[in-house]
Structure 1
Amino acid sequence: MSLVSKFMGVGAATLASRIFGFGREMLMAAALGTGPVAGAFYAAFQFPNTFRRLFAEGAFNSAFIPLFAKEIEAGGLDGARRFSEEVFGFLFTVLIVITIAMQLAMPVLVATIIAPGYRDDPVKFDLTVNLALIMFPYLMCMSLGAMMAGMLNSLRRYFAAAIAPVFLNIILIGVLAWAWHEGRDELAIGYDLAWGVLAAGLVQLGIVWFAARRAGIRVRFRRPRLTANVKRLLWLAAPAAITGGITQINTLIGTAIASGQDRAVPALAQADRFYQLPLGVVGIAVAIVLLPELSRALKGGNETEAAHLQNRSVEFTLFLTLPAAAALIVISEPIVRVLYERGAFTATDTHLVSTILSIFALGLPAFVLIKAFTPGYFAREDTRTPMIFAAISVAVNISTALLLFPSMGAPGIAIASATAGWINAALLFSVLVRRGHWGRDSALLKRIPLLVLSAGLMGLALYYGATWLAPWLGRGGSLIERILALAVLTGAGAAVYFLLAFGTGAADFRQVTRSLKRRPKQPSPPPGDENAA
């Protein structure tokens, strides 16, 4: 199967999750707006979600996969199973300790890390603490689930791990629909959503657990021991956790700073949902697929193939990300108005969220490129260098956000995040080139300026199109008229971009598809993996 097919398979599952996520956010915006309950929920949920990315997805997708792949090569599925059981026993024990400690310390954590700006509002502060207490065990479910997902990705079974997050959004949509039917007030809805998050964690863990069993990996609990394998994993995972979760670290920092201003926390979270769509569909899909593919190529001593995989991945990500960034910059306000502005979500909220979204969009290509560059380090078991760059990025983010927030509010936090993203991407790329881990590719160097030009011209077309469709996109039109007008506008923009990209030679879909096929013969899948993606 070609690399692009794997990207598209994971991307399709992630797209489904993001579409349901939009549905969830639309219902939440209508029910809670950017009020105090929304602020408390987003702040409380951000904490376990950040830990999940730091100590689960970031660490295991970056450190666990190369080691698991090595165990498969050395000892087959039996060796990989023993390694997984050693890790599972240690991880389960550590998660129990972390969960209990965090539950006991939650009031202090909310006051100092999660939302220090809420300390002066006892009602909002207590609500944030209570919601965080309910949702924090979600971390344990998702951390164990991330381990299962890492095994599935190593076995080239990408779909189950990618589709599991859909159920978080499906369950929360169901909770919101039930709350609307029952006429529950905002405070009750906040608690309903928190319990829904916990239930979703259990469902997601169940999905990847059964998928791993079907793939031939039946993990049993072992007494936790610091074996050589576990020590090696921890040595790689500690920096990888920070690097893999850099976007979430910056988001958590932004949330803490934003808690000092009304409406800022939910506004940042609602804008984040939009740019997470292309980031998830393209960037995360590429990162998930590229790491095990690069690991196999490098384990086989094939540096040429590794360079080819990296260059084609960057070309693929830019081909889809640049037009998305241009669209979010130019028509952010119509998008937010059509999808969010109803119920408790007002015109003032639309202006704030769309401003933040357009700034986030400036950093979107950088956020996606980070996902494409870091596998070049992790596949070589170098997690320290990206961690250093992540630390620099965090320092830039904190200092810029603190500088800009007093005068600009939430948009200043978005500027800080975008700036930090570009600095991180530039550092990652420059060191890959300096070390000789990034092969020069004339086709890529030729196509990048043409892709930028195509996206820029599409953005110009969207600007004039939005002006022409303003009577239908504005607040005077009905919801159906606004949705149809936005669909026409975005569809026409996509058509303009693809015509320009293919017409200028910025992209050749057939050539790219052919070039992404793996040249070497792939090894036979492990027993029980006849349906590997």
Structure 2
Amino acid sequence: MIRSILSVGGWTLVSRITGFARDVVMAGVMGAGPVADAFVVAFRLPNHFRAIFGEGAFNTAFVPAYAGLSETAEAGAARRFSTRVFTLMLASQIVLLAVALPAMPFVVRALAPGFADDPARFDLAVALTRITFPYLLCMTLVTLLSGILNAHRRFAVAAGAPVLLNLSMLAALGLAFLFPSVAHAAAWGVAVSGVLQLALVWAACRRAGIAPGLGNPSLTDPAMKKFFTVLGPAVIGSAGFQIASFADTIIASYLATGAVSALYYADRLYQLPFGVIAIAAGTVLLPEMSRRIAGGDVAGAHAAQNRAAGFSLALSAPFTVAFLVIPGLIMTALFQRGAFSGEDAARAASVLAAYGLALPAVVLVRSAVASFYARQDTTTPLYASLTAIAINVGLKIVLTGPYGVTGLALATAIGQWVNLALLVGLAWRRGWTAPDRTFGITLVGVAVACLGLTATAVYGLPLAERWMPAGLGFRDLAVLAALGLAGSVVYGALLLATLRLCGLRLRRR
């Protein structure tokens, strides 16, 4: 399982690195002004809907059902099920697209009402969103096909597909002179990438002989009835989380110009460990636990969950320390050039530090929620999510006044910790999770290693700045690289030493 997590995480890392290159180029040519704000809204809108109806809800309902049919039902049952779901998803997305495109001014006004006071920014956001919205149709089908591949333990292609988004946008930005604006170029890059990703995962399914076809989406089929029973609460739960993201964009649209962009750039760095580690672990863990529970191996399912949670936490903790201790250096070194000013970097750094508080919780939530989804219980996570989101959105309104855009990220952090506490508590009470000695030792090791990493960052920063020549180009980037290298050595050494002292040996299984 760990090897599969590393495979998914490795491809996701490539995606995040190319995504970082994309964001650096975007920051240099767009900055964090009105054009960037308009594009961020156009980019976020289809991604919000994708997260609600695609990755968030669909995977939790489809993957356990498909994996269960593959394990226990007669030959061909899983294929028939995937064909029916594929046909239904395609038809529903075509209808949604036909309704949304002419209504886009109303959609943008609902997502970013503050833009209405700036007609030029509002009109640009509407035009860009009409270009990017078909991306949702492609990505919904990509999610379905990726779920099929993951259920058959074919993780690499699905994990690597998002790289095409970044490459497509970089290519479009390189050809920006052919478009009305650089924002139009980026929007067309998003739309084209959806087609490319769909073609890639479809070809992978065809080669493996598991591609769904088009057929009658019979809603009377028992598997389909069960699918929709699970999907309903999952959609509401995913929508609840996205409500918080919608609230971020809505509230930020009323703040000073650049607030939406500050959230975006900080979120991109926050999403790096989340995407590489948490999503990779969750992608592998859900079908693994589903198969084990279907086969009666509950203890094995809990052991897999503990390994995934400990592994995820150990890899993500250094990012938490970095975001909390040196957020200013990170934003300055990575983005401050071209149209992205020092003021933009400082604003985004404050948001990044607040997101750092959320990172441990959001990483562990992906493992904790598998306790329920592997048993096809999407109702309990729904209640936990809605409770956390209610607290989250309420705090956004309260904290934005004194803390501005940073208050939005602080509310997100509190909401994530509430969600994690509810999930773990409910799973523990039902006997659906069983943290073991290995996980406890990992927590101790991570805590000790984080203390050493914090000391390295605090005391190493002035030393690194003193040693780097003042006139050196990319001096901040060189300082960040030096601290990153030293911190990696210190963190890794302390973590391994603590694990060994506590009697835990890392080994391949």
What is the TM-score with the length of structure 1 in the denominator? 0.91
Contact 2:441 2:499 in 1 (8 A): no
| Structure-2 residue corresponding to 1:24 | 22
3-state SS in 2 of match to 1:197: helix
Q: What is the alpha-carbon distance in structure 2 between the residues aligned to residue 472 and residue 101 of structure 1?
A: 59
Higher relative contact order (CA 8 A, sep 6+): 1
Deviations 1:359-378 (A, max 9, x none): 10111000101111111110
1:419-430 alignment, distance < 5 Å: 419-430=414-425
Distance (Å, rounded) in 1 between the aligned partners of 2:284 and 2:439: 20
Residues 453, 68 of structure 1: alpha-carbon distance in 2 compared, 3 angstrom cutoff: same
Assess, with a 3 A threshold, how the Cα gap between structure 1 residues 361 and 507 changes in structure 2: closer, same or farther.
farther
Q: Match for 2:225 among 231, 235, 238?
A: 231
Aligned residues: 507
Distance 1:104 1:394 in 2: 31
Q: Contact between 2:438 and 2:504, CA under 8 Å: does it hold in 1? A: no
1:302 corresponds to which of 277, 284, 297 = 297
Is 1:447–1:507's contact at 8 Å kept on the other side of the alignment? no
Report the equivalent of 1:124.
121
For 1:149 and 1:71, locate their aligned partners in 2 and report how far apart those are by CA, in whole Å. 17
The correspondence of residues 499-510 of structure 1 with structure 2, limited to 5 A, is 499-505=493-499
Give the C-alpha shift of residue 27 in structure 1: 0.4
Q: Does residue 1:490 correspond to 2:460, yes or no?
A: no
Shift in Å at residue 400 of structure 1?
A: 0.6
Q: Is 1:173 the equivalent of 2:170?
A: yes
- Alignment-derived partner of residue 287 in structure 1: 282
Q: Give the corresponding residue for 1:455.
A: 450
The structure 1 residue matched to 2:66, chosen from 54, 65, 68, is 68
Q: Partner letter of residue 155 of structure 1?
A: H
Alignment counterpart, residue 39 of structure 1, candidates 37, 40, 43: 37
Gap change, CA 1:380 and 1:507, over 3 Å in 2: farther
* 3-state DSSP of counterpart to 1:479: coil
Larger mean Cα displacement after TM superposition, 229-238 or 250-259: 229-238
Change (3 A) 1:77 1:364: farther
TM-superposition CA deviations, 1:165-187 (whole Å, max 9, x none): 011001111122232xx4x79x6
- Structure 1 residues 246 and 27: CA distance shift in structure 2, 3 A: farther
Asked whether the 8 Å contact 1:329–1:358 carries over to 2, the reply is yes
In 2, the alpha carbon distance for the partners of 1:414 and 1:218 equals 40
CA 1:88 to 1:509, structure 2 compared with 1: closer, same or farther past 3 Å?
A: farther
CA shift digits 1:270-291 (9 cap, x unpaired): 0001111111111000000000
**Structure 2 residue corresponding to 1:349, chosen from 325, 344, 351:** 344
Q: CA deviation at 1:477?
A: 4.2
Q: Given the alignment of the two structures, is residue 220 of structure 1 paired with residue 213 of structure 2, yes or no?
A: yes
- Please list the CA deviations of residues 167-215 of structure 1 after superposition, one character each: whole Å capped at 9, or x if unmatched: 1001111122232xx4x79x61111111110000000011111111111
The DSSP-based 3-state class of the residue aligned with 2:175 is helix
Cα distance in 1 for residues equivalent to 2:204 and 2:149: 8
Cα distance, 1:510 vs structure 2: 8.5
Distance in 2 (CA, whole Å) between partners of 1:143 and 1:444 is: 35
Q: Which 4+ residue blocks in structure 1 deviate beyond 6 angstroms?
A: 506-510
Q: Is the 8 A contact 2:219 2:225 kept in 1?
A: yes
The question of whether the paired residues in 2 share the 8 Å contact of 1:26 and 1:339 is answered with: yes
What's 2:252 paired with?
A: 258
Shift of 1:223: 3.6
Post-superposition offset of 1:508:
8.9
Cα distance in 2 for partners of 1:454, 1:73 equals 41
Change (3 A) 1:381 1:178: same
Letter of the 1:504 partner, please give it: T
Give secondary structure in 1 for the equivalent of 2:71. helix
- Tell me the distance in 1 between the aligned counterparts of 2:97 and 2:75: 31
Identical residues among aligned pairs (%): 39
How far apart, in 2, do the equivalents of 1:508 and 1:253 lie? 45
* 1:239-277 alpha-carbon deviations (Å, 9 max, x no partner): 223445665442222111111112110100000011111
Q: 1:284 to 1:379 in 2, by over 3 A?
A: same
Establish whether residue 136 from structure 1 lines up as the match of residue 129 from structure 2: no
Q: Is the 8 A contact 1:99 1:137 kept in 2?
A: yes
Q: What amino acid is aligned across from residue 166 of structure 1 in structure 2?
A: V
Q: Residue 371 and residue 244 in structure 1: after superposition, are their counterparts in 2 closer, same or farther (change >3 A)?
A: farther
Q: Is the 8 A contact 1:90 1:225 kept in 2?
A: no
Q: Which amino acid aligns with 2:47?
A: N
Return the match for 2:77 from 63, 66, 79: 79
User: What is the 5 A alignment of 1:382-397?
Assistant: 382-397=377-392
CA contact (8 A) 2:314 2:442 kept: no
CA shift at 1:76, angstroms? 5.3
Offset at 1:11?
0.1
Distance 2:123 2:77 in 1: 48
In the TM superposition, residue 88 of structure 1 has moved relative to its aligned partner by 1.1
Q: List gaps (5 residues or longer) in structure 2.
A: none
Separation of aligned partners in 2, 1:318 and 1:44? 33
When normalised by structure 2's length, the TM-score is: 0.96
1:7 corresponds to which residue?
5
